[in-house]
Amino acid sequence: MSKLERNWQYAEQYPAETGAIVRARRLSLELGIEPVSRSVGAQLSALAVLSRAATVCEVGTGVGVSGLSLLRHTAETTLTSIEIEAEHLREARGVFADAGIPASRLRLIEGDARHVMPRLNLGAYDLVLLDADHSLLLELFEHALAIVRPGGCIVVPGAFAHGRVPDPAARDEATVACRDLLAVVADSPAIAPALSPAGDGLLTLVRLDG
Ligand SMILES: C[S@@+](CC[C@H](N)C(=O)[O-])C[C@H]1O[C@@H](n2cnc3c(N)ncnc32)[C@H](O)[C@@H]1O
């Protein structure tokens, strides 16, 4: 194993998770849903605190690993989470209840994010997580940019598309969409981008003022 691989593995094993997150992660894997990794979950928890997030929007609830991570250290945060699969959302409701998250902190919306996001309030969210179908990434990013407040951030786990983004031979739709988003934000005067190798790549995009 190379030094970089050892570093990555160490970072993934380092953070402790709550019992509820461990159970949600297990359920997620049983159902074939890919949750955010442990280090990405920890970074989401920290980002929610750092950005003093009162309002968070998540696209791709899964069964709630990322949602629980976002709510972990912030008693005041409310989470709007959008999920296209009714079965995933049903399981997620059980997961949030099991974790003791009050219903007043949650707005779980069943639907296609491409249709739901345009109905959300503009500039109203402190943090937006995009963790759905990566082939939709550019479209979802445009919606996310509209609903995040200036100074708020958009977070994209899986930004390496299972390690394919750095491989020039990989040309599948999701990989190309990730590459296109990385190129768009690298040149944008409206965004401060940061790409970390956590998990399968964690892209954090801060919306600049003005
Ligand atoms: C990678 S999983 C999300 C995992 C979750 N964020 C977690 O960490 O536990 C992606 C989820 O996005 C959902 N999804 C896919 N396309 C979607 C869309 N257009 N709108 C809303 N949800 C979508 C899938 O059903 C799936 O549950």
pLDDT of residue 209: 83
Q: Rounded to the nearest 5°, which phi and psi values hold at 80?
A: -100, 120
Residue 80 three-state SS = strand
CA distance 178 to 184: 10
Residue 101 three-state SS = coil
Cα–ligand 1 centroid distance for 43 (angstroms): 19
pLDDT of residue 210: 66
Query: 178-191 as b/e, with b when 16 or more CB fall inside 10 Å?
Result: bbebbebbeeeeeb
Please list every protein residue whose CB sits less than 6 Å from any atom of ligand 1. Answer: 28, 33-36, 59-60, 62-66, 82-85, 88, 112-114, 131-133, 136
Q: Which residues of the chain have pLDDT under 50?
A: none
Which domains are assigned to the chain? 3-207 (3.40.50.150)
- Please state the pTM of the whole predicted model: 0.97
What is this model's ipTM?
0.99
